[in-house]
Amino acid sequence: MVRGVRIDGTWLRRLRFEHGYSQKVLATRAGVSERTIRNAEKGLMLEAHVADCIAGAVGVRLGDLVLERATAGRSVQLQRWARKFCRAYFMGLTDQRYDELTAFLHPLVWWSSQSSPAVPFDGIYEGTLGVRELLRRFHTWIDQQELLLRSTLLTRIEGDGDLLYFHVEVVLMSTCLEGESRPTWLSFVCSFEDDRIQRVNQYFGLQTGSEPATNRPAIGSPL
């Protein structure tokens, strides 16, 4: 059962600055103490309903601010694992540095990539060398589309036993059209043997409509 949450204090601070709120003003709008706002920005544990009030006061959903859900045992372990995996995945994708990611993977890992619309990196990849090839193709495709990875946000993590699901929102920025961004999402379903992944189903979607995207604050380097 969820007992409390930690929220991304850096992002909360940026949202507060964007609204022009002092800590005192934000506390008043959220109906909490100024000390609570200071604790939130430090990433300390908050009761879920308090964190929800703070999120509402800066105009976002609680789920968008959550840094780590305070659940028990295996669930916490899976959440931490997902965040480390995402950091390693995007390091491999953007910098072509694979060692940290492959440390998570079984040498004979089976990895399926599916997307809409179809892109050149769709397919089945086997073994760590296959995963490197997937990331190389993904990286090449982004370059060909003249896109840069702007920011990533892990928005949903669920686990049960040795099965883990997590969802990542990504902002891709166009290098040819100033200010244009493309909201993108990646979802992963991973199955484990001990602490190494044996099987991955990766899903990817790129919004191609003409409506302007809502620009979220950059949250620094990928997760």
Farthest-apart Cα atoms in the chain, separation: 55
Does the pTM surpass 0.75? The reply is: no
The per-residue pLDDT for 142 is 84
pLDDT, tens only, 154-187: 877 776 667 788 888 888 777 776 656 777 888 8
Confidence of residue 22 (pLDDT cuts 50, 70, 90): very high
The per-residue pLDDT for 76 is 62
Q: Which residue has the higher pLDDT, 177 or 112?
A: 112
The per-residue pLDDT for 30 is 93
SS3 per-residue string spanning 36-97: HHHHHHCCCCECHHHHHHHHHHCCCCHHHHEEEECCCCHHHHHHHHHHHHHHHHHHHHHHCC
Among residues of the chain, what percentage have pLDDT more than 90?
24
Q: For 15-24, what is the mean pLDDT?
A: 91
β-partners of residue 202 are 113, 188
Residues 6 or more apart in contact with residue 72 via CB below 8 angstroms:
1
**Among residues 1, 12, 10, which one has the least CA distance to residue 69?**
1
- Over 70: is that where the pLDDT of 223 sits? no
pLDDT, tens only, 114-142: 987 778 889 999 999 999 999 999 988 88
Residues 6 or more apart in contact with residue 20 via CB below 8 angstroms:
none
The per-residue pLDDT for 161 is 61
pLDDT, tens only, 32-87: 999 999 999 887 888 878 888 998 899 887 766 776 444 444 566 677 788 888 88
| Domains in the chain: ranges and CATH | 5-69 (1.10.260.40), 74-206 (3.10.450.50)
Q: For helices 48-57 and 23-30, give the axis angle rounded to 10 degrees.
A: 110
The per-residue pLDDT for 220 is 32
SS3 per-residue string spanning the chain: CCCCEEECHHHHHHHHHHHCCCHHHHHHHHCCCHHHHHHHHCCCCECHHHHHHHHHHCCCCHHHHEEEECCCCHHHHHHHHHHHHHHHHHHHHHHCCCHHHHCCEEEEEEEEEEEECCCCCCEEEEHHHHHHHHHHHHHHHHHHCCEEEEEEEEEEEEEECCEEEEEEEEEEEECCCCCCEEEEEEEEEEEEECCEEEEEEEEEEECCCCCCCCCCCCCCCCC
- The HSE-up count of residue 108 (CA atoms within 13 Å, CB side) is 1
